[in-house]
Structure 1
Amino acid sequence: MARRIDTAEGRSALDTVRAATASGEKPARTVLATAVRYLLQLLDEKAPGNSVEVRVPPFGAVQVVQGPRHTRGTPPNVIETDALTWIALATGEELWADAVAAGRVQASGTRAGLEGLLPLRP
């Protein structure tokens, strides 16, 4: 990730997104982007590595988890989800298995799972 998001900014964005979604509103795109990137940053800090790529288009992607490193093309282990699902997973509001079963997470590869890493503690 290009820019580190400080804890206060990340938590504020996350609180704003949660409040907006709880009241049925759509959060501002910039605030949603900051919250997503902050949680991806926390995942990178918790599980540094290069064997799994977590994508939350269009806001960010991060490579995490120790293991074989890929250098070109599509990585062998990819996880992709939308912003609100990522926030729910990362904060523990939704379980990994439930999101996968519902089709809100696409995971490919033998290492493409975040069960033991979520929730994060923002």
Structure 2
Amino acid sequence: MPAAADDVRAALAARAAGTAAKADLKLLTKHFLALLQDAAPGNSVEVRVPPYAAVQVVEGVRHTRGTPPAVVEITPEVWLALATGESTWDDESAAGRVHASGERSDLGNWLPLVGR
């Protein structure tokens, strides 16, 4: 479930000012992952943003146990840059900051998430 709008605004402001605490990063990470789940429902790709959260998204092969057919692992900082439109999937992938494997693991079509 996405976070409350006031909490998101405050955490984004703290991040922009360079004063974001771990709690702000956690709130924003979970918030934008929830928005991704709404935008791309499914279970074929697991998106991991350690240490804060992991979700399954994108329609396709349903998986019930073990590792799903596609996995994306990314740091909170890069995830937030992608979710807010500060960076692009292609740029972060080319720079090696996105670790994605498997079919449907390119999340570029669903990013950025700001404004959703």
- Scaled by the length of structure 1, the TM-score of the pair is 0.87
Conservation of the 8 A alpha-carbon contact between 1:48 and 1:64: yes
User: Which residue number corresponds to residue 107 of structure 1?
Assistant: 100
Structure 2 residue runs of 5 or longer lacking an equivalent are none
Conservation of the 8 A alpha-carbon contact between 1:89 and 1:95: yes
What is the RMSD computed on CA atoms of the aligned residues? Answer: 1.4
Structure 1 residue 11: Cα displacement: 2.8
Instruction: Give me the whole-angstrom Cα distance separating, in 2, the residues matched to 1:41 and 1:47.
Output: 10
User: Which residue number corresponds to residue 59 of structure 1?
Assistant: 52
- Scaled by the length of structure 2, the TM-score of the pair is 0.91
User: Which residue number corresponds to residue 19 of structure 1?
Assistant: 17
1:121/1:19 Cα in 2 relative to 1: closer, same or farther (>3 Å)?
Answer: same
Instruction: Give me the whole-angstrom Cα distance separating, in 1, the residues matched to 2:17 and 2:59.
Output: 35
The alignment of Structure 1 onto Structure 2 pairs a total of residues equal to: 115
**Amino acid of the structure 2 residue aligned with 1:94:** S
2:110 is paired with a residue whose SS is coil
Structure 1 residue 16: Cα displacement: 1.6
Conservation of the 8 A alpha-carbon contact between 2:71 and 2:105: yes
Structure 1 residue runs of 5 or longer lacking an equivalent are none
